Structure 1
Amino acid sequence: MRRELLGCGLSEDGQLGLGSRSAACVKLPEQIVGAPLSSSGTAVISVACGEKHTLLLAEDGKMWSVGGNDAGQLGRGGRGAGSFTIYPVSFSGGVEMIQIAAGRSHSLAVAEDGRLFAWGNNEHGELAMPRYISCQETPKRIAELTEVVQVASGPHHCIALLENGVVAVWGEQSDGAILHSPQIVSQLTGIPIVRIAAGGRHCVAISAGGGVYVWGHNEYGQLGTGDTLPRSSPFFLDGMSSMRIIEAYCGDSHTLLLSQEGRLFAFGSDAQGQIGGGRKFDKHTNPAAVTELMGSTVTRVACGRNHSVVVIGGRLYPFGQNANGQLGNGSAMNQPLPRQTDELDHVVSVFAGFDQTFILRSVDTPIMTAGPSCPLKTPVFLDKAKVLDLLARHEKLDLIGLLESVLSSISCINGSFLFDDEQHFLHEGSVHGVNLDDAMDTFGALGDSSDARQYAELIIDTLSMSVFSDDFNPSATASVEALRVYLILVWFHGFVTNVTKDTVNRLHQPFAESISKLRPVFRNALEKWWVKLPVRHFNRFVTVMMSAVRCLVKEKVDPQECRTYLEILASLCAINKVTNHIPLENFYVHELAENYNLKMDYVKWAHGQENKETGVTCWSSYPFLMNAAAKGELLYVEAVISMQTSMNGARLNLFGFDLFFEQPFFELTVRRNHIVQDTINGLLSSDRRYLQRPLRVHFMGEEAEDAGGVKKEFFMILFQKLLQSEYGMFVEDPDSHLVWFSGYDVEEVNYYKMVGILCGLAVYNSVLVAFPFPLALYKILLGQQPTLEDLTELSPIEGRSLQELLDYQGDDFEDVFCLTFTISYAAFGSTETSDLKPGGADIPVTQSNKADYVQRYVHHRLCIGRNGEVERQAAAFRDGFKLVLNSRIVAFFQPRELMELVIGNENYDWSELRKIVQYKGEYHANHPTILAFWEAFFELTVEERKQFLQFLMGSTRLPVGGMSSMQMYVQPTAPEVLPVAHTCFNLLDLPNIADSKELLRRLRISIQHTQGFTLV
């Protein structure tokens, strides 16, 4: 069978092209013999129907017309007399057409070069021509519109889609206003529209992500908004965002939507059966699948005024009004349900309008999928293959043109780099649909090219006309699809390469300000996308914002100038606390301490907090920017001020002499063999005010004065004792060797408060302690919830078991695990069980509730404990800790930073240790003894080097600032003695010998003896 075009329906004005002898109503499809032909049959690829006229588009780009011509709508010159014979329409210059549309008595055609031509009636502004022109008898270009890719028409109104994604309308609008020139639909700015449709008095636009946007009359529910209220601007049908809609079709008062899978949704009037519901209801206000077609794959759809036609498996299924035979079933009876027309098969395309239907048949067409009945051009988007191909072929001018075309349009940017498969659909806005790896690779290739700098300037200049333009108001856009630009652009190399203050002003600042202008619902949507980003893409966003902040910090600008970036970074940091996407260090601005007086900044911030001042931006408002060393320095400075204040309170100046009526220090005298009890007694008998004074420790019977070293050893021995099982306060996990609150009934819960006080005192007095608790403790101190990862750190076997439970996807879950919402604790040789929720013993753990079970298990295990004992013990510890460290600065810390503040870290950089050493006396960096010492030192094993740190400083761990923040001194001593350490001052007495082997031998002897103090 050759390709053939058939038509049915109203034909009294010759609009079917069947000749003058055809019936007024053709009830069975007849072949359109006069249609243009090719070697394979009919050459027609598209048909557009007016009320009395018809337009036909041939595969060679030529256009033909037939039917009534009362307003010149045939485009052949003249008006009045119609034509029952199909004739071509002439265009100047022989331009080829790619798409056609028709209204009641006007016609439209899109040329291959993007020009739009219009002719026919203009009484309602249909031609976008001045009101004094009532009709146009030959095609005339609409000069205001260029680069048009699609056009659609209702009876008296028109809608066009441009290559840059702009949607424009003209003609008689739903509110009665008549537009004689195209007007941009501003609410669709930023939305990558790929399909448009026009009904009687309403319009529909479909985006690349399957978003459905409707506006216009709605008296029959034809907008699908759930009501009958008209919409003067595009309204996003959120309920359809997960349905993967790809096409829209409009009748006079009904609308059909087609999904990628071939599902058909309908809404609006069904009075004539035009939405196939089977019941003649006037109003259907919500989109609903056409029940009769469920289970079938609809591939083609067309709407007339009050009838609809769909194609399934090459067969025609019409429904709706049939008074003029437009359903082609040989009857004039309306058909309320879709019914197959038996005589027709091999249908590849279907077109309808007013009361006519045209069918295109071909036996040579492969199996069809859901889509349009004729080829449609869409706006231009970026994709990786296209850009890489242009780069590979060195087509620089073409590439520049492509970049300018896409990046000058927010809509086109938002339609770029979308996944090829179903991932690009909106899915109710929870998925952005962008293949960010393609964006990363594409911008990376541009950044790696030899013309990278030129491309960067071009992109920045182009973005200034789109995303960064004052005309773009992100809060006025219709849906979250306009937000993709904020994910795509961060991979532009200009954000992180050769960043200067000028770059920040031209690129980072407008980008960040655009995000800050988003209304809350869109900002929340963007942040939900951030949460789900893979690590590389989340980190890129952070890197972009940080590059701006670091640049401005180096310029020493006022923090107020960075506020926009800082607010975005605050959101990203909050997300990162939950997702653990990237290390905390990625948010650090190490240059802060170098360029600003953070101590004064903190004072300013604290004053503002106390006085509830707003509008003042301080670095201290964004503590995540400060590295742990900077925060620790603030805490230590505050501690010193607090100590000095407390000491001043114990002093009276009389006649120029300081008289202390109270001890200016917090003195503790303890016995080594009774260090725990003596310490607790000392704390219990001391006034709480003394805790704010510098701590001095004296070991009874020992000579050393505490200049720092004694209290280092005091804390080391004390915590070793407290953590032993004989006290029953803490339990050690046999696998991780970390400890946790015992959960046992301890006679005096205040002991935990004492341990908290001691931990706070160590920090307050700048002493690192060996405190083998997991990160969970520091989360609790900061009011954060521990996670499964924290339990796994403490108890690897327990944590892995819970993770296996989460990972298991089998249908036999309950049979395999046999769990209920309970938790068991071993206590004194027996096992006790606690419910994780009311009635937990009777609630089985299933596939659907296992995540809830794990969350409750972790919380109970780490935060509640048997009979609530862990909760009480942890609370007492926290109270004691805060009794000493009652500082706002503590809240600045992240859990891991606080952990390092207490116990230090093990980020050893032994070469850095050599750099920080200061030499006294005759020693200097190139002294023979010093050279021999370092040669000997680097002969030590890593464990021996740690012992050296213990020997020198009283701890193997480093302060939060690392080795670079330490101080170490080396001074000469007699050649015949062993090296001696003064831990109070990190001072090493080094015998003055230049023999590295002998120094190594003596070092190894010395570092084996690291406890006890004597005068040197």
Structure 2
Amino acid sequence: MPRQQRAPGRCPGLPSPACSWLCFPKAPFFPADPGAVRQICCKRGCLAVVKTDGTVGVWHSAEKAGGQSREPRHIKLKKNVKVEAVDCETSHLLILSSKGELSEHSLALQNVKSKPRHLTELRGKWIIQLACGDHHSMALSKGGQLFTWGQNEYGQLGVGREMSSAREPQLVQALEGIPLAKIAAGGSHSMAVSLSGSVYSWGKNAFGQLGLGHTEDRFLPTYVNALEHKKTVFVSCGGEHTAVLSKDGLVCTFGAGCHGQLGHNSTCNELYPRFVAELFGARVSQVACGRWHTLVYVPDLEDVYSFGSGSEGQLGNRSKSDQLIPLPIKLRKKGRRFNQEASASKEQIKVIAGDNQSIVISLKEKNSYANLNQALARVGEEETDKWVSNLDPNQWQNIKRNIKLIFSLTACLNGSFLKKSQDEHFRTSQEAAGINMSALLLFSDKMAKNPKVLTGVMDAVKKLVQSLNSSATSPEALRVFVIIPIIIRTQDLCSDSPLKQLARAIQFLQPEGKQTLESLWSNLDFPFFKDLVDNYQRLSSIMLSSFIKQRGSLKPEYLTEVISWPFQILQMLYKVNCRTGFRIQEKNFYVPEVKEMLLLPKFNPTQNIEQVQEIFMSKFNEIKFALRVFTQIPCVLDMEAKIQLHDLNRCFLYFEYSWPYFGVFTEVSVSRQNLVQDTWMFLRSMQDINFQHFLKVCFYGEPGIDDGGLSQEFFTILTRELCAPEAQIFRHFEESHLIWFSSQVPAQEDIYFLIGNIFGMALYNMKIAAFPFPLALFKKMVDIPLTLEDLKELCPIEGRCLQALLDEQYDDIIESMMLDFTVMKEERGSKVSVELKENGANIPVMKYNRTEYVDAYVNYVFNDSIKEQFNDFMRGFVRGSPTKHWNMFFPAELRVVLLGRTEYNWERLEENAKYNGYEKSDETIRNFWVVFHGLPEEKKMDFLAFLTGTNRVPSQGMESFVFTIEDAGKENPDLWYPEASTCLHSLSLPRYSSQDVLQEMFLFVLEHYEKFGLA
């Protein structure tokens, strides 16, 4: 703290020792009754004083008055309207009335009688704060909107580069929705502080007065990162420097320092905000910037400090030299300090800094200085209770106006419900919205008890959500997206709910805004996040049901333009759920109506072909739109719906490439003896267009027709041969019985590209290719990072060892493992060391870096070591499966779709069985099921493969498997051989088959299983 100076002397420039003014330098023009002052503004050689009677007196300096009389010019507004505040720029004086209206008055002496200009553009806005620079003005409304006008050479209006000046007030759209607490204007720069302490700057920056760390001008408001979480509550601007004040009484200054006006014992400029070290330990309550000097007031010490230019004596130290550090002004009269007298009489001390002027004023509390920092309209607990409990109809109109103002303007709502305990709202960021959720819930509950208040709030909110700012990126501006769902939580959801319009507004946010909103969501308490998911899920369901009912009168485009909005929000929430570990089950995101939406129409036999075509084409277009929408939001689909969507997608693609010749197939002829070689030859000769058609397989020398069974058999046999250890294509892990790519297979060979082809073709043709891959492959396919848990599945031994390393508590044990950042790999029959990071062989694994080592190890196994092999595989997969939306499947779902299931429910198989020529009660059928259920588990699986081409269950489960038993029409079962139609999953049985006959039938099938190529 600077040493306090004391010097005798009476107050300069005051008419009597008992007055309440101190002015530096001495000013010969003052109001006759200084005790009747409401506000003072001294700029550009003028002194404007707002009196308590609501009038304004304006004095000009001798230089500006040109030697004329120094009698004040008096300005009075119309009858019954008082002046609330004033500020001035070079040529104009702005006057704010007690009704929140602005007028502009000329300061030129020759235009004393000129008519003032009323800023009609701001009529109805209720202005609460003013700020003037040299040639520009700012006004903040009660609704939180900031308006600027004047010159814009340096961007000081904050509206972009397009206009060089503006006579009419312009809305600063970049700050729309941010609840502002204070605005300030410098010579050619502007500043604003939000209720949560965020600071924004724009305009001229030649000396770093914007605090951004550089000297480039800014034409739009820019967030001052260096002041983040500093609890800034006030800002003042000098000609080319800035001072900010924190709630804790700390002062930061930045910009031009040529006269020491920054207080850093230096004349250097500061590009970043820097604390005034000389004021450490003091709790500053006021700061005011003149053109080249700065004043601060420390109430605990009852001192006003000054620093900067003293050329006119404005520092109050009886000297005209510059002052580089804060020193107290000599405030003494008749043996008593001026501020001690004020303190004793409980008067208020105010400091005002003009261009080259300093004023200290003491006012009694009952005649308190005008509140130049009026706050925007907000919801408070007292206001809520007043609204809900007020039964006086005479007060309702006023309450209704307040509700409309607060809930129809974003800044007001964003400034409400702040979490003020322990100043938490000052920590607002992407990680914290700064909202008092308890207060918000309480407000919602109270509001629901008063229908009039509830209706007023809902009407205002509906208006608000239709005008939300799509360019908002600040957490403070995006609070509204968290607040509104809670406010309307008690309302029944419908297709016209504000939640729908809120979803639309979210969709129109810029990517940065969406990212910030997702961060705010991710830091919500679980119940609030769960409610958000539930509400959007129910809204999606309601809107889709309504669309389905009206599908005849609504165009398909309506699906993408309107209905997709809440679905898109669900997808965003699902991503947040995955990242944060909220662990909301996937079923909570499902919208069951999607499956109904994707159903193809059923045709009436009485309809003619033209009617059928018309219905089909309308449905065709509708489903095409549905495909486009729902493939982008897979979280709303359960696996059954995704399979349905995938099936439709591939069918439409097939029709598109086959039109007008349906029935075009890609036919593959292979021999069982040379299946792999024949397949590779076929794939290498195929054109990309051939993959668009469905597959038909023919085995040389066999009469079978592929109705689905032969192609499944093809994939089953091919998978078995490629995965055999002797094929030496994959790495085999004995403990897990899983496979992985081998780095030993040369990348220049196309084996993995061809295997990718097979995998893709299986998906496109809805077949099972049971390569025993771990979940890691399917996570890589959809670009999800892999972890140690994935390695544990593939190689449990290595996974357990690495987990033990992570769990070890003692440093010496970790050191004794003698690990470094290398891994051994086989290469041409020998093992070589591979570094996991640069110079890894010389970096021992210690406790502090073991997590990095494990991550690097996992990354090497799953990524670096097989990078080219996997890339080949994916190129082949994309070629083999031309549908572009296969990645709508989650990794676990994709594995099930491609590899099938191994959970068997044979009782369900019997329940689902259908009969052609038989009844369920027939003896042959009863005998069949007795014999079947008596088979060992592996024999049942073999028989399933005989019927379908694979012993795996389709992804939909055994519930979806329909098995038909047909009457073979043979009286003598001894002359019958088993026959299966795998396309229809049917089996022909002769009549009067006893249990012995059926037992022999099963033995025949199972003993000759290898003959069918599936063993």
Q: How far is 1:667 from its partner?
A: 4.5
SS of residue matched to 1:339? strand
Larger deviation, residues 171-180 vs 684-693: 171-180
For residues 8 and 935 of structure 1, the distance between their equivalents in structure 2, rounded to whole angstroms, comes to 117
Aligned to 1:666, the other structure's residue is in SS state strand
Using the TM superposition, give the Cα deviation of residue 259 of structure 1 relative to its aligned residue in structure 2, in angstroms: 3.7
Which of 893, 898, 901 in structure 2 is aligned with 1:902? 898
Kept after mapping to 1: 8 A contact 2:129/2:183:
yes
In the alignment, which of 500, 505, 518 is matched to residue 508 of structure 1? 500
Whether 1:634 aligns to 2:649 is yes
Q: Distance in 2 between matches of 1:455 and 1:843?
A: 68
* Structure 1 alignment gaps of length 5 or more: 1-5, 28-32, 37-43, 72-78, 84-88, 363-371, 607-615, 651-663, 671-676
Q: Residues 373 and 498 (structure 1 numbering): CA distance in 2 closer, same or farther, change over 3 Å?
A: closer
What residue in structure 2 maps to residue 770 of structure 1? 770
The Cα shift of 1:411 comes to 1.8
1:161 to 130, 140, 144: 140
Aligned to 1:498: 493
Q: Please, which of 454, 466, 469 is the counterpart of residue 468 of structure 1?
A: 466
TM-fit CA distance, 1:923: 3.6
Is the contact made by 1:704 and 1:1014 (CA closer than 8 Å) also made in structure 2? no
User: What's the CA shift for 1:247?
Assistant: 1.6
Distance verdict in 2 for CA 1:986–1:91, change over 3 Å: same
Matched, 1:122 2:120: no
Q: Residues of 2 paired with 1:635 and 1:533: CA distance? A: 36
Structure 1 Cα separation of the partners of residues 736 and 19 of structure 2? 91
Query: 3-state SS of the aligned residue for 2:184?
Result: strand
Is the 8 Å Cα contact of residues 430 and 520 (structure 2) preserved in structure 1? Answer: no
CA–CA separation in structure 1 for the residues paired with 2:88 and 2:245:
23
Displacement of 1:408 after TM fit?
0.8
* Equivalent position to 1:248, from 235, 238, 260: 235
Residue 668 of structure 2, aligned match among 644, 666, 669: 666
Query: Structure 2: how far apart are the matches of 1:349 and 1:22?
Result: 11
Q: Against the structure 1 CA distance between its residues 124 and 172, is the aligned structure 2 distance closer, same or farther, given a 3 Å change threshold? A: farther
The answer as to whether partners of 2:836 and 2:860 remain within 8 angstroms in 1 is yes
**CA separation in 2, counterparts of 1:1007 and 1:443?**
76
Q: Report the AA paired with residue 191 of structure 1.
A: I
C-alpha RMSD of the superposition: 6.9
| Aligned partner letter, 1:257 | V
Letter in 1 for 2:296: V
Is 1:266 matched up with 2:259?
no
Letter in 1 for 2:512: N
Q: Do the aligned residues in 2 keep the contact of 1:351 with 1:373 (CA within 8 Å)?
A: no
Q: Which amino acid aligns with 1:986?
A: H
Residues in 2 aligned to 1:814 and 1:399: alpha-carbon distance in whole angstroms: 69
Find the counterpart in structure 1 of residue 696 from structure 2: 694
> For residue 415 of structure 1, what is the aligned residue in structure 2?
415
Q: Which residue pairs with 2:638 in the alignment?
A: none
**Distance change in 2, residues 1:496/1:942 (3 Å):** farther
Structure 1 residue 248, shift from structure 2 partner: 0.2
**Is 2:324 the partner of 1:339?**
no
Select 2:295's aligned residue among 296, 309, 314: 309
Q: Which whole-Å CA distance do the structure 2 matches of 1:624 and 1:847 have between them?
A: 43
Aligned-partner SS, 1:899:
helix
Tell me if the contact between 2:507 and 2:568 (Cα under 8 Å) persists in the aligned partners. no
Matched, 1:986 2:991: no
Is the 8 Å Cα contact of residues 124 and 171 (structure 1) preserved in structure 2? Answer: no
Say which SS state the counterpart of residue 599 (structure 2) adopts. helix
Residue identity over aligned pairs, in percent, reads 24
Q: 2:193 aligned with 1:194, yes or no?
A: no
User: Whole-Å Cα distance in 1 between the matches of residues 515 and 225 of structure 2?
Assistant: 21
Helix, strand or coil for the counterpart of 1:310? strand
Secondary structure of 1:299's partner? coil
1:236 counterpart (199, 210, 222): 222
- Name the structure 2 match of 1:379: 376
Structure 1 window deviating more from structure 2 (788-797 vs 254-263): it is 788-797
Give the SS at the match of 1:270.
coil
CA contact (8 A) 2:522 2:576 kept: no
Distance 1:383 1:680, change over 3 A: farther
Name the SS of the counterpart of 1:286 in structure 2. strand
- 1:756-813 deviation per Cα after TM superposition (whole angstroms, max 9, x unaligned): 4554554455432433212332355567775666445434665677789899999999
CA shift in 2, pair 1:102/1:741, >3 Å: closer
C-alpha deviations, 1:86-114, integer Å up to 9, x for none? Answer: xxx9999999x9x8666699797886xxx
Q: Say if 2:835 and 2:841, in contact at 8 Å, map to a contact too.
A: yes
Structure 1 residue 832, shift from structure 2 partner: 3.6
Match of 2:605 in 1: none
Which 10-residue stretch deviates more, 955-964 or 141-150?
A: 141-150
- The letter of the residue matching 2:106 is E
Q: Which amino acid aligns with 1:770?
A: A
Alignment of 1:593 with 2:601, yes or no, is no
Contact 1:350 1:373 in 2 (8 A): no
How big is the shift at 1:45? 11
Distance 1:969 1:387, change over 3 A: farther
> Which residue of 291, 298, 307 corresponds with 1:319?
307
What's the CA shift for 1:833? 2.2
Q: Secondary structure at the match of 1:512?
A: helix
Does residue 534 of the first structure (1) align with residue 522 of the second (2)?
yes
Alignment partner of 1:679 out of 675, 679, 694: 675
The change in CA–CA distance for 1:311 and 1:823 in structure 2 (over 3 A counts) is: farther
Q: Give 1:41's aligned residue.
A: none
Q: Is the 8 A contact 1:276 1:319 kept in 2?
A: yes
Q: Which residue of 2 aligns with 1:624?
A: 632
Counterpart amino acid of residue 631 in structure 2 = P
3-state SS in 2 of match to 1:404: helix
Contact 1:10 1:25 in 2 (8 A): no
Instruction: Choose the corresponding residue for 2:360, options 358, 364, 367.
Output: 358
Q: What is the deviation of 1:693?
A: 4.2
- In the TM superposition, 1:727-738 aligns within 5 A as 727-733=727-733, 736-738=736-738
- Indicate how the Cα distance of structure 1 residues 545 and 338 shifts in structure 2: closer, same or farther if over 3 A, else same: farther
Kindly indicate whether the alpha-carbon contact (under 8 Å) linking 2:518 and 2:572 is maintained by their aligned counterparts in 1.
Answer: no
Deviation at 1:819, TM superposition (A): 6.0
Instruction: Report if the CA contact (8 A) 2:202-2:222 is conserved.
Output: no
Q: Which amino acid aligns with 2:245?
A: L
Post-superposition offset of 1:834: 1.0
Residues 385, 298 of structure 1: alpha-carbon distance in 2 compared, 3 angstrom cutoff: same
1:762-911 equivalences in 2 (<5 Å): 762-763=762-763, 765-780=765-780, 790-795=790-795, 798=798, 820-825=820-825, 832-842=832-842, 856-865=856-865, 870-871=866-867, 873-874=869-870, 877-878=873-874, 881=877, 884-886=880-882, 888=884, 890=886, 895-905=891-901
In 1, the alpha carbon distance for the partners of 2:19 and 2:959 equals 95
CA 737–116 in structure 1, closer or farther in 2 if over 3 Å, else same: same
Q: Aligned residue pairs: how many?
A: 903
How far did residue 165 of structure 1 move? Answer: 0.7
Counterpart residue type for residue 518 of structure 2? W
CA contact (8 A) 1:756 1:877 kept: yes
Distance 1:441 1:910 in 2: 52
Q: 1:1014 to 1:499 in 2, by over 3 A?
A: farther
Task: Tell me which residue corresponds to 1:299.
Answer: 284
Distance 1:1006 1:260, change over 3 A: farther
TM-score (norm 1): 0.67
* Secondary structure of the corresponding residue to residue 526 of structure 1: helix
Which residue number in structure 1 is paired with residue 160 of structure 2? Answer: none
**Partner SS, residue 324 of structure 2:** coil
Q: Which amino acid aligns with 1:162?
A: S
C-alpha displacement at 1:289, in angstroms? 0.6
Q: Contact (CA 8 Å) 2:183, 2:193: kept in 1 or not?
A: yes
Structure 1 residues 195 and 577 mapped into 2: Cα distance closer, same or farther (>3 Å)?
closer
After TM superposition, the structure 1 = structure 2 runs for residues 91-102 of structure 1, keeping only pairs within 5 Å, are: none
Q: Aligned match of 1:1012 in 997, 1009, 1013?
A: 1009
Cα distance between partner residues in 2 of 1:902 and 1:737: 17
> Shift of the alpha carbon at 1:534?
1.6
Instruction: Name the SS of the counterpart of 1:590 in structure 2.
Output: helix
Over 3 Å counting, the alpha-carbon distance change for 1:928 and 1:47 in structure 2 is farther
Quick one: structure 1 residues 852 and 185, their matched pair in 2 at CA, closer, same or farther if it must change by over 3 Å?
Answer: same
